[in-house]
Amino acid sequence: MTLGAPRSQRHLVLIGLMGAGKTTVGRECARRLERTFVDTDDLITATARMTVDEIFATAGEAEFRRLEHDVVADVCASPEPLVVACGGGAVLDPENRRALRAAGVVVWLRAPARTLARRVGDGATRPLLRDDPAGALARLERLREPAYEAAAHVSVDTDGVGIDVVAESVLAAFVEETV
Ligand code: S3P
């Protein structure tokens, strides 16, 4: 069993479905904590030199998940405490869940699928939402709930709540988990 990172050095990790606000809220939390912000999708696209869309289209989802797994491992190993926004599917992999929980405080940003659908619009840059964003999000919500539940130390409801208030709730939960 691994004891994970010392408490004060733990990453703040945001998970949840597409449209949950992981990137926006993550940036705000990083600003307030004076930490570096990283987004696993950005690290994947920088490594692959392709957009998420292109990776799915040319190499397939399995290859995207392999790259995502490597990026999650790298981020978890970072000695600098970070704020990390994970792609919505990152915690489907049990190894990713274990690594993220050991290295960080994992906060699940939640909102009902209909709210997420409103936020992502036509889902144009997200291959899994291409044809029917609302339907896909409702399906993914049902399928993924157990994985988010298993990955998260704590969850924060974002429905109808502004970014500042969500960031405050996330940071309060983070402090609570690290004392
Ligand atoms: C995915 C979410 C996306 C991106 C990819 C797959 C998912 O990230 O990783 O399109 O499986 O939920 P965001 O959650 O940041 O949109």
Distance from the CA of 47 to the center of ligand 1, in angstroms? 16
Q: Which of 27, 41, 158 to mutate to test the pocket of ligand 1 (most atoms within 8 A of CB)?
A: 41
pLDDT attached to residue 175: 95
pLDDT attached to residue 3: 59
**Is the distance from the beta carbon of residue 88 to the nearest atom of ligand 1 less than 6 Å?**
yes
Q: Look at ligand 1, atom 2, and give the residue with the nearest C-alpha.
A: 88
Q: What is the pTM of this model?
A: 0.95
pLDDT attached to residue 17: 98
Dist CA 46 CA 117 (whole Å) = 27
Nearest atom within ligand 1 for CA of residue 92:
11
pLDDT attached to residue 1: 43
pLDDT averaged per 10 residues, the chain (length 179): 67 97 98 97 97 96 98 98 98 98 98 95 88 94 97 97 97 93
pLDDT attached to residue 124: 82
Distance from the CA of 125 to the center of ligand 1, in angstroms? 9
DSSP secondary structure string, the chain?
A: ----S-GGGPEEEEE-STTS-HHHHHHHHHHHHT-EEEEHHHHHHHHHTS-HHHHHHHT-HHHHHHHHHHHHHHHHH-SS-EEEEPPTTGGGSHHHHHHHHHHEEEEEEE--HHHHHHHHTT-TT-GGGSS-HHHHHHHHHHHHHHHHHHH-SEEEE-TT--HHHHHHHHHHHHHHHH-
